[in-house]
Structure 1
């Protein structure tokens, strides 16, 4: 009996020890939130620092000294402070994800070479917007994401849009890239484009904006800048078991009764992982502010009643009928890493909108001025699909330390539908573009202080375009001219080399060169119009280069200088747009085009004063030659033709101008203490176009002076931002000629001429971390309810706007 009693006691002791080890001894792993890599030397401690621990080389740490519900603080010099408990960690699979601090000089960027480089070594201005900032600003679209940065100006012709402007350039002179794949296609036009809204802000891990030419790496179109969107990657498991995590988000905004739902989830094992994301947006008609110009009001609109068009009075003139639309976005990513050398990544992206109105065309008055010109003007569903497969190899080789093969297929679909008031025929054009691309990029780090980046690229675009005419009274559909030559192709092949040489620890030189060959082929159909040509067959090439340096004369002072060239080859929209109507004009094809070139210089500085005040500035100058611009033209010897029953001035895209763009960009960050900070941005740009006859005019895509000021309070749970946004005036004399003809979207000065007035808004946004899993966002934009229109935009900006958001992580 004594033996049994002893055995029983021993068993109880062993049980107690095992229970204690299970409950009180808990090994956790600390990981980087972006890369999923272990983070070593993280300090763990309780509130009074009486209990401490440190993560090891593998990011692991034992929490035995901490009690189950005791708050544990995780602190690392490079990461944001994080607080949790053992109980919560158990539910999270004993993993802690830390977010890097936004320390700009040590920040790593991918945009300049397609490989990781320290931002402090780059002579060009690059701005990064990380997922943490995106979560805080809660943008409706990727266009709004760029605008809220305070460094990119965005034009909107309608709610379903957003056309960025950077340093006086826009549309097809800026390049969009998603996960290293070029989004610009053969029908990106000189007019405002809205393809950026196909990118879901919830999927973006980081956005990098290059200011100035990026043609050495990205080729044609990267004249004014490059916007690189990097989406979230699947995260591996650092244990033997399958891990599962995800997020659920909801957002509401009052200005357009937005309702947005989002869910994403991640499965991960040690060698493979999967990330899935889905977002649904529902935007209703946008309401403008109360305090402003009456000329901006939407006083009437057209409805179809008893089989006829009727102009009706708007019961709420501040409501912009019709601007609402729906959108869905889907992302699926897989990654497989069999070892430390190879990595295989597959990404599937899909975005689709409903029909949405082009608002600036719906408010155009008729010639008599007593009604509206259009009964209907809307875009059909904008669809975008991309399949992106990437193979990455890292390791020692004779010619490289890393090689990356990126192959992608994209499908774009869009359409335009318009019908004049009291006219029964609706004219529709539908475009589809299939785009294939192959990129092979190398990194070589073995040549002493020289790092080389080099590679090759091939891109092929095919354009399918159809036109039709539908009588909405009889439902009879007949053929009509397409917008572009059906079956036309655009392709390019290129090679580049880029070098980074560290002459001294405080002086880095970056230089590169690229050659691009471009082929354009289009066959014109003379069924509907007697073109004086049958085809466009353009073969052209371009050398581009860059050279610059980053110098730290002192540890807290940086100077950068960069010179670069950029080019844009004519695309299908330039050479082959078939009778596209503009107010009072009609645009016809022109197959005799050459590339346009830009020459750019940039000088920048950054001064850190005792880690309390950071001053940043840059000045730039760009010279564009052989600029592709819309100018008066002759079609079969005629300068005016009858088009859709209206005598219209004939125009075409031509190499008919030079342009000069220059400006200054300033920024500051002031840190008063660990809670309070102040930041501000200011951009001033001037631009002049000069045509072949020597006549000067204001450049179309030069934004007004714009900037912001933010006063921010932040602790571990709450972040609040009181801020001012402002835009300067563009007088009638400084308004581009093409804009002066659109007097219906501008205010009128004392002389009766159109101009773009200055404006400002006061705003507040906040985010509160209720728990490690739950956070909420509350923002009040334009709380003085200003009624204003941003430069060149058709739609009026939102009035007072309450934004509520809720996010849950699991």
Structure 2
């Protein structure tokens, strides 16, 4: 096997003879390899490479033969005397790429097969090949995440029947969820630039022990590119540029990133700009989705005009810019400091599903827009390795500040009153995480976290004729705050290579304060404040067992909880036509109990089958239900008599499902992969069952790919089962304007299937071209719960140049 290994040494400036450190990289993508076991022949000396792929050879003798072993790479060995003369070792990936080292499960590198939960990942190469328009589309390409869209500038993930504020999004280890993440669909994930991402990991199932409240259904972790130090005495420079064009929405995208590396300092800069026009839907499908007319305002007068091309979803276009600056300092071999600055902003863009609603015989809204969605984050990270500390082998500290800005502007057809709300959230977080190897068989992870959010919210009404602006009710209680304090432990016990036990506990305490004095001028609530002061101990226990080379079993049990946030206790919003959500000061946390079992069969790397089943019980579920305010079931809101609703602990939920995947390697070049997800569930309230709102219809994909030398071809199908009227949740049944009509005139979500072809050609190490033809048969379809139809036939061209 050694003949198949690639070992390339880059001769660098002579380092201190006492340091004797080397860096281990992937021979294909030049990424650091964490978790490589480095040991001598009798295993009296051993080390593990860190997240930067670095390992020290100080404890080895000069005459030792040093072995490098990692489940995802081919084994290699060389004498220490040879290794200390070099700085970089390249390892070849093994034929089976499903045992890579993942970070998200414990915040430190672990081999995938040791993790009892299901974790799916996408590498940089896979992301570049998938060529997603947004990070929401990137998640969809994992095959296990369902994406809902209310507008082109959107993308709300659903995982195993849970979504929005029951799922956690992290960027470089920092939680993106904030105090106003709602129970409805959220589009914050589009603020993450897909061109800046190095790799993505998705924990399928509860991650509350490591990540706390919000991580009931899963954790989506995005890891952006890191600045690279120079491996020579001279400064290094590298750059990537990308141009992309798509026909369905006339997308025009440009991206540039460049890295300057010194011996101890490195700088990475990234900028992306995207411009989208209105999205064109397909030609073959329900006529219900066609956009036959829209509102045009000229000289202050609203008119409904005919859409000359009903397949154009007018208006849906917008533009977006993403910036990132990262700096790395490595003053010592075992210490690094990382600073990251991130900024994303969109233009104002329409919420398309609100613009297609009708009232009486005309369109309901003349305008319904989101203001620019802005996100800023500064993240400072300190990492230190220590072989002497009794408390840790690795310590990682994160301090981050984030600012979120969003707004909503709407005006009814032929109304002179424009309503708008504006929100700003300041979020501060601090994490301290430790890793300690207690023995050759036992690893211990533990940490602390503190999060604080401050919410600023404003409302106003503007008369577009007189330009008079008056204060109005705000979406959230202005000046409210939400904080979380927590501590966790996680133990990994691996008595043999065939068996791993992982278990952990976390205590999370949440405090929230909201004052309604400003909004009570308009609402006259029976209370002026609402407070949350609650905590919970959650736990997880799981095993990974490989009784034979052909089979692996994984079994995991977990508990999770989510405390109400400011959106739950204090939001005021028209949730649907003729309904308004009002605050509720009597809310408790919701709790989840989940068990999942998976099996993996590997027939000599020729056929690999994955299957998993799971069951979640959600107790005291926070749901939106009819409510009374001061004894009244209806109040006037934005000039309309509206049914009063509020978030309540009014239901229980049962969620269950089955997931299956297969990979068949016909030859080394030709492979077939397929993934299918079956999701079921219901809410139980006062003895009555109703369908679960975020339980997506059965969905899946099948890929037939061929890779040879410089070319890769992927022919694939994506498909989605029907969701009948009776299978729709009551809140979805009332949204007939986003669904097709069945034979009885009731809304339903039809099944759909698209055929697609994607190719990539590497001219050389510098030039890469990707071309995709999606939805070849030009199907007109709308994913479940989405308010905008998917793209019709879409040609996507991308050109990447690396310097």
Question: Normalization by structure 1: what TM-score?
Answer: 0.89
Say which SS state the counterpart of residue 431 (structure 1) adopts.
strand
Larger Rg belongs to = 1
Match of 1:52 in 2: none
* C-alpha separation in 1, matches of 2:555 and 2:786: 34
Q: Structure 1's 230 and 173: CA in aligned 2 closer, same or farther, altered over 3 A?
A: same
The 5-angstrom pairing of residues 311-330 of structure 1 reads 311-330=304-323
Match of 2:619 in 1: 625
Q: Is the 8 A contact 1:360 1:794 kept in 2?
A: yes
Superimposed CA distance per residue, residues 546-585 of structure 1 (whole angstroms, 9 cap, x where no aligned partner): 0010000012311000000111110000000124442121
Q: Is the 8 A contact 1:579 1:589 kept in 2?
A: no
Match of 1:535 in 2: 529
Q: Structure 1's 415 and 733: CA in aligned 2 closer, same or farther, altered over 3 A?
A: same
Say which SS state the counterpart of residue 727 (structure 2) adopts.
coil
Match of 1:481 in 2: 473
* C-alpha separation in 2, matches of 1:339 and 1:244: 22
* C-alpha separation in 1, matches of 2:780 and 2:747: 17
How far apart are 1:26 and its partner, in Å? 10
Superimposed CA distance per residue, residues 198-242 of structure 1 (whole angstroms, 9 cap, x where no aligned partner): 001111111100011100011111011000000011111111110
Say which SS state the counterpart of residue 114 (structure 1) adopts.
coil
Structure 1: unaligned runs, 5 residues or longer: 1-24, 42-56, 60-75, 81-93
Q: Structure 1's 364 and 98: CA in aligned 2 closer, same or farther, altered over 3 A?
A: farther
Q: Structure 1's 637 and 505: CA in aligned 2 closer, same or farther, altered over 3 A?
A: same
Match of 1:462 in 2: 454
Say what the alpha-carbon RMSD is for the aligned residues. 2.2
* C-alpha separation in 1, matches of 2:486 and 2:93: 36
* C-alpha separation in 1, matches of 2:646 and 2:96: 48
Superimposed CA distance per residue, residues 347-394 of structure 1 (whole angstroms, 9 cap, x where no aligned partner): 00100000010000000011x1x2100000000000000000010110
Match of 1:472 in 2: 464
The 5-angstrom pairing of residues 591-670 of structure 1 reads 591-670=585-664
Say which SS state the counterpart of residue 733 (structure 1) adopts.
helix
Superimposed CA distance per residue, residues 265-289 of structure 1 (whole angstroms, 9 cap, x where no aligned partner): 0011121111111000001100000
User: Is the deviation greater in 332-341 or in 189-198?
Assistant: 332-341
Match of 2:145 in 1: 152
Which one of 518, 526, 535 corresponds to residue 510 of structure 2? 518
Which one of 476, 490, 509 corresponds to residue 501 of structure 2? 509
How far apart are 1:79 and its partner, in Å? 6.7
The 5-angstrom pairing of residues 746-765 of structure 1 reads 746-765=739-758
Say which SS state the counterpart of residue 144 (structure 1) adopts.
helix
Which one of 371, 381, 402 corresponds to residue 410 of structure 1? 402
Say which SS state the counterpart of residue 291 (structure 1) adopts.
coil
Q: Structure 1's 307 and 106: CA in aligned 2 closer, same or farther, altered over 3 A?
A: closer
Q: Is the 8 A contact 1:104 1:119 kept in 2?
A: no
Q: Is the 8 A contact 1:782 1:800 kept in 2?
A: yes
Which one of 376, 383, 386 corresponds to residue 367 of structure 2? 376
Q: Is the 8 A contact 2:349 2:370 kept in 1?
A: yes
* C-alpha separation in 1, matches of 2:208 and 2:299: 56
Match of 2:235 in 1: 242
* C-alpha separation in 1, matches of 2:575 and 2:679: 30
Superimposed CA distance per residue, residues 304-363 of structure 1 (whole angstroms, 9 cap, x where no aligned partner): 123210000001100000000000001111111111221111000100000010000000
Please say if 1:685 is aligned against 2:679.
yes
Superimposed CA distance per residue, residues 6-26 of structure 1 (whole angstroms, 9 cap, x where no aligned partner): xxxxxxxxxxxxxxxxxxx99
Match of 1:400 in 2: 392
Say which SS state the counterpart of residue 180 (structure 2) adopts.
coil
Q: Is the 8 A contact 2:95 2:605 kept in 1?
A: no
* C-alpha separation in 1, matches of 2:566 and 2:30: 39
Q: Is the 8 A contact 2:72 2:99 kept in 1?
A: no
Q: Is the 8 A contact 2:572 2:580 kept in 1?
A: no
* C-alpha separation in 1, matches of 2:607 and 2:25: 31
Match of 2:125 in 1: 132
Q: Is the 8 A contact 1:36 1:235 kept in 2?
A: no
Match of 2:557 in 1: 563
How far apart are 1:609 and its partner, in Å? 0.4
Please say if 1:694 is aligned against 2:687.
yes
* C-alpha separation in 1, matches of 2:10 and 2:258: 26
Please say if 1:804 is aligned against 2:784.
no
Q: Structure 1's 99 and 148: CA in aligned 2 closer, same or farther, altered over 3 A?
A: farther
Q: Is the 8 A contact 1:36 1:236 kept in 2?
A: no
Please say if 1:768 is aligned against 2:761.
yes
* C-alpha separation in 2, matches of 1:37 and 1:421: 58
Q: Is the 8 A contact 1:158 1:323 kept in 2?
A: yes
Which one of 167, 175, 178 corresponds to residue 174 of structure 1? 167
How far apart are 1:538 and its partner, in Å? 1.4
Q: Structure 1's 313 and 96: CA in aligned 2 closer, same or farther, altered over 3 A?
A: farther
Question: Normalization by structure 2: what TM-score?
Answer: 0.90
* C-alpha separation in 2, matches of 1:528 and 1:399: 55
Match of 1:253 in 2: 246
Which one of 335, 349, 352 corresponds to residue 356 of structure 1? 349
* C-alpha separation in 2, matches of 1:360 and 1:220: 30
Which one of 578, 583, 597 corresponds to residue 589 of structure 1? 583
Say which SS state the counterpart of residue 611 (structure 1) adopts.
coil
* C-alpha separation in 1, matches of 2:613 and 2:756: 29
Match of 1:112 in 2: 105
Structure 2: unaligned runs, 5 residues or longer: 1-8, 13-22, 39-54, 58-69, 75-86
* C-alpha separation in 2, matches of 1:387 and 1:270: 24
* C-alpha separation in 2, matches of 1:428 and 1:721: 46
Please say if 1:572 is aligned against 2:566.
yes
* C-alpha separation in 2, matches of 1:222 and 1:705: 23
Say which SS state the counterpart of residue 447 (structure 1) adopts.
coil
Match of 2:378 in 1: 387
How far apart are 1:58 and its partner, in Å? 12
Match of 2:697 in 1: 704
Match of 1:218 in 2: 211
Q: Structure 1's 216 and 27: CA in aligned 2 closer, same or farther, altered over 3 A?
A: closer
